[in-house]
Structure 1
Amino acid sequence: MSASEQAVGTSGAALAGDGAGKQRPRVLVAEKIAQSGIELLAQHCEVVVATDWDADTLRRRIGEFDGIVIRSGTRLDADLIARAERLRVIGRAGIGVDNVDVEAATRRGIIVCNAPQSNVVAAAEHTLALMLAVARRVPQAHASLVSGRWERSRFSGTELYEKTLGILGFGRIGRLVAARARAFGMQVVAYDPYVSSERFRELGVERAERPEDVYARADFLSLHLPRTPETERIVDAAALARMREGAYLVNCARGELVDLDALKEALDSGRLAGAALDVFPQEPLTEHPLFGYDNVVVTPHLGASTTEAQDRAGVQTAEQVVAALTGGVVTTAVNIPSVGAEDLELLGPFVPLCRHLGRIAVELAGGAAIERVEVELRGRIAERDTRLLTVAVLEGILRGRTEEEVNLVNAPALAEERGIAVSELKETRARDFTDLVRVTVRSNGDAVRVVGTVLGTRSRPHLLEAWGQRFNVQLERHLALFRYRDQPGMLGHVGQVLGRHGINIVSAAVGRHPEDGEGSGHDVAVMVVTTDQPVPPAVIAEVVEADGFYEGRAVDL
């Protein structure tokens, strides 16, 4: 044991207090967290704080601990997790768990938990701080004055009062930013198709139907989106061209959301008045042409860097680690919660099916604001505790569409926050199949229903109904759905278009008849094709351009 570790370890042992004769779980605090978090851990565990261990030391000694607390600087990959023979819980003092191989941990039965609400206030306040700083040119005025110049006329700014704040992404942080902006007298318009219209009304925020509507209205645009393939570089040259002349851009969310080259061009042309950035596509970043601009304010990813946020992260993580090691309820686990062995044997294969059905349903809804999700569970599965299946549906609906990371634990809370009502119906009889799952998504008076089941000795997920038509196709990672006039040649057209783009069809199925009188009639058909790679939106558009096609969707599961 090193001298530094021994000193810290002695301190940790002293904090442990009573119960020295009992065998306590051992927890390694591998990175700096708030002292209050360490004290909370020490009330229940033997704590070793070793923030100076190198990678080799951690690899050699991780097998000594029942729990570990990390931040972003420690990477727990599959190999390291395999060496952690005693490990029962990994606590991440922060939001993201990108540095943890969650799948490997789950296979080993290790709970992975985080502190998802620890920095939301800090991030919202930093967003407003940057907005004010770029509008009033505070950093530039400060630099000028401390260098010996008094240049009042040079630093005339812009007020927030009666300006319009546009927000992309209306999760926890986006809503906190909106509330603070309204206190400044700003009008707020936001886009988030996964937040109900009622929740927008409750917060006094105008709901935009499309991102383009936000671009056109905003004097200040603030980003609060997750990083997904759909949102990467969402603010590109085309988006910036739609923004109002003289607008400002603020990004405290993810660096990958903004095309920095396009932003530079928009600033050079004078279309944008300024920009404030706390995050960047590659970090750390210390050199960039924008850093020398007089109308750009930058900070080194400080959104969560407050004493209070770090204290909350340490305490919240410590609470979860203690719960995991003492038989309590872990409320921020990011991997699958425990299910009884008897139920898991039957329900396990339906978890991915339900996740897939939620994903497909929300894609077919076409970005409309979701107001209600109805889950029907029929057959043998209805005799079990099926709450996990309903949560899996919500996870499929929300994953990649909220600023927060969605998992089987927090999906119900995120749905509730967004004003999405959820209902579950169970019926022990199922028509035509032993078990059926029906998922209906309701929005703006419209309803989209998909139906699926698992089949075969390997319990493969199958899609049985979409857009009111029946078929049977085994779900693969990539699929595309088309709704069209029922006439010869339509399947061939889809195959030709996909073939021209090098996309191979794995399987295809067609449904021609509406169920129980639902749908548009016998002249409408629905085609589902599974493919060996994603089908880009441009390819979907090319298919649908043909006469007789009504709409198409691509879904990646």
Structure 2
Amino acid sequence: MESKFTVLVSDDISEKGIDLLRQDPTMAVDVKTKLSREELYAIIGDYDALITRSMTTVDQDLLDHTSGRLRVVGRAGVGLDNVDVEAASKMGIVVLNTPTGNTLAATEHTMAMLLAACRMIPKAHSTLVGGKWDRKSFMGFELYRRKLGIIGLGRIGSQVARRAKGFEMEIYAYDPYILREKAESLGVKLLPSLDELLETVDIITLHTPRTPETLGMIGTRELNLLPDGAIVVNVARGGLIVEEELHSALQSGKLRAAAVDVFDVEPAVDNKLLELDNIVVTPHLGANTDASQINVAVMVAQQVMNVLKGEDYEGAVNIPSVLTKLTDDFRIYFELAEKMGKILGSMIGEAIEECSLVYRGELFDREFGPRSFDVPLNLLPFSVAALKGIMEPKIQDGVSYISAPYIMRERGIRIEEKKVSASHDYHATVEIIVKTETQTRSIVGTVFENAMDRVVRLDEYEVDFDPQPPMLIFRNEDRNGLIGEVASLLGNAGINISHFALNRHPRGQTALGVVNTNQKVSADILERVESIDGILGAWAIGSRS
């Protein structure tokens, strides 16, 4: 009798997902929830796959008890706080999640929250239940021909736009990483800046990840750009709106109402926002529907089966089977490509239209390992690393080696690979070229014989620097004293400089400075660098926060 793949479901998931697993004759499924750590340690070595939600902690200790048998960990949901992805990757274990399973649930909750805020339904309900028939206090706010501003036109933002069209609203969006053609296909007018969006619309709804760039993106200054009596909706992530300043805007009457599903600190039972009458709140229910729970269970079950049976899968956040098979020289180029991508991604603040990856040198003609199943869209693994690096500063939440190429394809970004046998100046090089509507940027990197990876060209500047973040990159007029001003500013801010390189443009006039630092340059320090006379542009590249 042919042996079956063994799957352990350690947390409660929808029976639909479990049924899908059990219907496959190659799968043997055990559902054992609420196990103690000791009980889990005792049995985990018997399984090829583990499916969890958020209750089971998949850390190094648990993985050490797998006896080398475990091949895949599937998370029925988005968050991976309970899974040590790096430890799993080092052991060749695929980690999956289901980031698209709750898209419609979050979309519908956004619309529900918006409507509830427009008509103050919870307050009206509690007033009537309390024995008071009060119609005058609940004058509604119609959506017909109102202007809706969507901040973040990704999967959920796009679905919100489609539904808002049904209310005959005028739809505007701000998303610097979405192509104008995609917005237009949705009937959405894409605006070039957040400020312009806020000055244009009556309602804003946020659909961005929580990143260093988006944290606190809506505060008093931004709220004051909205017209008096505007409405704010956040069913995305806590921290995007400065809660204290939202409280003030609601209390003062600047805002008519707000609807909030996510908070800085959760559970949010002591949050000051709960004191207000003109806010609708829910306890992070965006993904909490029966359909979405079925979706994530079925998705994770299907993807786990695909991994075990050697079939194609899209939900992985890592690509361990390729990484474990790469030789040391290829692995260094893989890591270099990701670092280079992150540098370019941090320097580009608009929608990308095309990304080209050029590999020069006979090194890349060698076989480096399997290409099927583990690498999405049949790309070279170095390309996957570069694309993740490019997208991570822009999205971060949900960006992985597997998802980055699909995110790019979804956004209409063209991806091209090219191999050139000869590399004139170096043994081998990787070049990444990114095109937007207004600019083309490029970066070239190589690895020297001592296994030291370096960036050797950035745009038109011949350079030589370590691509390991954190770092500050700036372009400046070639004048005396400017470099000293930058160094003094960093030093006064307590930022140590480990390496400083200045590279003049081949035609003179300008130079490119690269400063490797001991910590990421904050937005405030970056703004002060940009204000120095002669600085033409500055970018902070840092580790993910």
Q: Tell me the TM-score normalised to structure 1 length.
A: 0.91
Report the alpha carbon displacement of residue 542 of structure 1 after superposing the two structures with TM: 2.6
The answer for the alignment partner of 2:12 in structure 1 is 32
* 1:273 counterpart (245, 256, 268): 256
Corresponding residue for 1:370?
Answer: 352
Q: Relative to structure 2, which stretch is displaced further, 395-404 or 448-457?
A: 395-404
Determine whether 1:507 maps to 2:490: no
CA distance in 1, matches of 2:324, 2:486: 44
Q: In structure 2, do the counterparts of structure 1 residues 56 and 214 end up closer, same or farther at CA, with 3 Å as the change threshold? A: farther
The equivalent of 1:542 in structure 2 is 528
Among 153, 156, 165, which residue is 2:148 paired with?
Answer: 165
Q: Deviations over 1:114-133 (max 9, x none)?
A: 11211101100110010001
Q: Give the whole-Å Cα distance in 2 for the aligned partners of 1:179 and 1:28.
A: 39
Structure 1 counterpart of 2:525, one-letter code:
V
2:516 is paired with a residue whose SS is: strand
Map 1:50-61 onto structure 2 (within 5 A).
50-61=32-43
> Is the CA contact (8 Å cut-off) linking 2:345 and 2:393 kept in structure 1?
no
Determine the C-alpha separation between the residues in 2 that align with 1:392 and 1:448: 18
Determine the C-alpha separation between the residues in 2 that align with 1:361 and 1:402.
14
Residue in 2 that maps onto 1:71: 53
Q: Deviations over 1:331-352 (max 9, x none)?
A: 2111125338775444221122
Aligned to 1:465: 457
User: Cα deviations across residues 71-116 of structure 1 (Å, max 9, x unaligned)?
Assistant: 1222212222222223211110012212110001111111101112
In the TM superposition, what is the alpha-carbon distance from 1:404 to its structure 2 partner? 5.1
- Structure-2 change in CA distance of 1:56 and 1:291 (3 Å): farther
**Contact 1:346–1:381 under 8 Å retained in 2:** no
Equivalent pair of 1:513/1:522 in contact (CA under 8 Å): yes
Code of the residue aligned with 1:547 in structure 2: it is D
Within 5 Å, which residues of 2 pair with 1:114-263? 114-263=97-246
Aligned in 2, Cα 1:500/1:318: closer, same or farther, shift over 3 Å?
Answer: same
**Are 1:408 and 2:401 an aligned pair?**
yes
Paired residue type of 2:268 = L
Deviations 1:324-379 (A, max 9, x none): 222222221111253387754442211221112222113223x1221111221111
Q: What pairs up with 1:83-94 in 2 under 5 angstroms?
A: 83-85=65-67, 86-94=69-77
1:21-63, CA deviations, whole angstroms, 9 ceiling, x for partnerless residues?
Answer: 5432221111111112111112232221122323443234323
Residue 528 (structure 2) pairs with residue 528 (structure 1): no
Amino acid at match of 2:264: P
Partner of 1:518: none
Q: 1:381 to 1:150 in 2, by over 3 A?
A: farther
1:483, 1:227 → 2: CA distance? Answer: 28
Between the two proteins, the alignment pairs up a number of residues equal to: 529
3-state SS, counterpart of residue 7 of structure 2 = strand
Q: 2 CA distance for matches of 1:66 and 1:304? A: 29
Alpha carbons 1:171, 1:404 under 8 Å: kept: no
Aligned to 2:3: 23
Q: Which moved more, 1:470-479 or 1:403-412?
A: 403-412
1:105 and 1:96 mapped to 2: Cα distance? 16
Task: Tell me how far apart the structure 2 counterparts of residues 75 and 237 of structure 1 sit (CA, whole Å).
Answer: 39
After TM superposition, the structure 1 stretch with the greater mean CA deviation from structure 2, 481-490 or 98-107, is 481-490
- The alpha-carbon deviation at position 402 of structure 1 amounts to 2.9
What is the match of residue 284 of structure 1?
Answer: 267
**1:379 paired residue number:** 361
Q: How many Å apart are 1:185 and its aligned residue?
A: 0.9
SS at match of 1:59: helix
2:447 aligned with 1:454? yes
Deviations 1:376-418 (A, max 9, x none): 1111343157622222221111114237501111211111111
8 Å CA contact 2:251–2:276 kept in 1: the answer is no
Between the aligned partners of 1:341 and 1:306, the Cα distance in structure 2 is 38
2:473 to 474, 481, 484: 481
Partner-residue secondary structure (3-state), 1:273: strand
| Matched residue, 1:13 | none
1:424 match: 417
> TM-score when scaled to structure 2?
0.93
Secondary structure of the residue that 2:118 maps to in structure 1?
Answer: helix
Is the 2:72–2:94 Cα contact (8 Å) retained in structure 1?
yes
The answer to whether 1:97 aligns with 2:77 is: no
Structure 1, 207-216 or 303-312: larger mean CA deviation: 207-216
Give the Cα separation in 2 of the matches to 1:139 and 1:544. 47
CA change 1:450–1:340 in 2 (3 A) is closer
Identify the match of residue 442 of structure 1 among 435, 439, 452: 435
| Alignment-mate amino acid for residue 48 of structure 1 | D
Cα distance in structure 1, aligned partners of 2:345 and 2:19: 44
**Partner AA of 2:254 in structure 1:** R
The match for 1:389 is: 382
Return the alpha-carbon distance in structure 1 between the equivalents of residues 55 and 41 of structure 2: 15
1:540–1:258 distance in 2 versus 1, CA, 3 Å:
closer
**Aligned counterparts of 1:173 and 1:245: Cα–Cα separation in 2:** 27
The structural deviation recorded for 1:482 is: 1.5
CA spacing shift, 1:544–1:302, aligned 2, 3 Å: closer
Q: How many Å separate the matches in 2 of 1:223 and 1:243?
A: 14
Hey, what's the Cα distance between the residues in 2 that align with 1:47 and 1:284?
Answer: 34
Work out the CA distance in 2 between the residues paired with 1:141 and 1:303: 22
Where structure 1 has 5 or more consecutive residues not aligned to the other structure, the ranges are: 1-20, 515-520
Structure 2: runs of 5+ lacking an equivalent: 369-378
Separation in 1, partners of 2:308, 2:537:
51
Q: Distance in 1 between matches of 2:145 and 2:396?
A: 27
Give the CA deviation at 1:299.
1.0
2:476 is equivalent to residue 493 of structure 1: no
The 5 Å alignment of 1:307-326 reads 307-326=290-309
Distance across 1 between alignment mates of 2:319 and 2:338: 13
Q: How many Å separate the matches in 2 of 1:200 and 1:118? A: 23
Match of 1:554 among 532, 535, 540: 540
Write out per-residue CA displacement over residues 180-228 of structure 1, whole angstroms, 9 at most, x where no aligned residue. 1111111111111111111111111111222222222221111111111
Q: What SS does structure 1 have at the residue aligned with 2:136?
A: helix
The verdict on how the C-alpha distance between 1:35 and 1:156 changes in structure 2, with shifts beyond 3 A counting, is same
Aligned residues with identical type, % of pairs: 38
Answer with 290-299 or 334-343: which moved more.
334-343
Note the alpha carbon deviations across 1:148-174, whole angstroms, 9 max, x for none. 222222211101111111111111011
